[in-house]
Structure 1
Amino acid sequence: MYQPLDCDLHDLLEIACMYRYLLRVDLVDGGGFEARALTTHTSAEKEEFFVLEVEDGPCSVRMDRLLAITPLEPGARFGRTELAGKVCAI
């Protein structure tokens, strides 16, 4: 079952998209990759996704699959941020 990301952390993803940050993306399954932040979207089932540009084109990662993001841009507005397990308290 999908668990929504904490609102403050969701805001950081939006900042990354606004500035199109190049990010190191670490996943809860141990995987990771570099990608450029594009946008976020919510599915009809109310699952939230982080859309990133990778070498092969855009890819969507369900937000509860994100372990951490680290901006690779000089002067980024935030540093490495852990996301896993930090859900929205609605």
Structure 2
Amino acid sequence: MTQDTISCELHDFVEVACMYGYRLKLILKNNQIIEGKAVEIVSSPEKQEYLVIDNDSRQHIELIQLAKMEVLTPNAKFSEVVFQ
């Protein structure tokens, strides 16, 4: 069985990042690094969820591809989340 969702607790951290428009450094499971401002979470017709990141253009990152999320915004409510 493949993992097609993240836990509610981890999802909440992504929602908070979007709500406050935090600048993030994302490390994906394939070791790709993406930086940008968290904008929103969107769902595809197939029920996959994506974090929309604004880094001069908008990128959609599937939530299940996240390995680590570092917050670059000073005085944020949290600094780092590791996705298992």
Pair in the same fold by TM > 0.5: yes
Report what 2:26 is aligned to.
Answer: 25
Shift of 1:2: 5.2
- Report Cα offsets for 1:18-57 as digits up to 9, x if no partner: 11000111010011021100000111111111100013x1
Task: Find the residue that maps to 1:17 and give its secondary structure.
Answer: helix
Which 5+ residue runs of structure 1 have no aligned equivalent? 86-90
Aligned positions, number? 83
Alignment partner, residue 65 of structure 1: 65
Gaps of 5+ in 2: none
| TM-score with structure 1 setting the length | 0.86
Determine whether 1:12 maps to 2:13: yes
TM-score using structure 2 length = 0.92
Q: Which runs of 4+ in 1 moved over 2 A?
A: none
Secondary structure of the corresponding residue to residue 64 of structure 2: helix
Q: What's the CA shift string for 1:61-88, capped at 9, x where partnerless?
A: 01111111010111110121111x3xxx
* Partner of residue 35, structure 1: 36
Distance of 1:2 and 1:45 partners within structure 2: 14
Write the distance in 1 (CA, Å) between the matches of 2:81 and 2:13. Answer: 9
Please give the alpha-carbon distance, in whole angstroms, between the structure 2 residues aligned to 1:46 and 1:20.
24
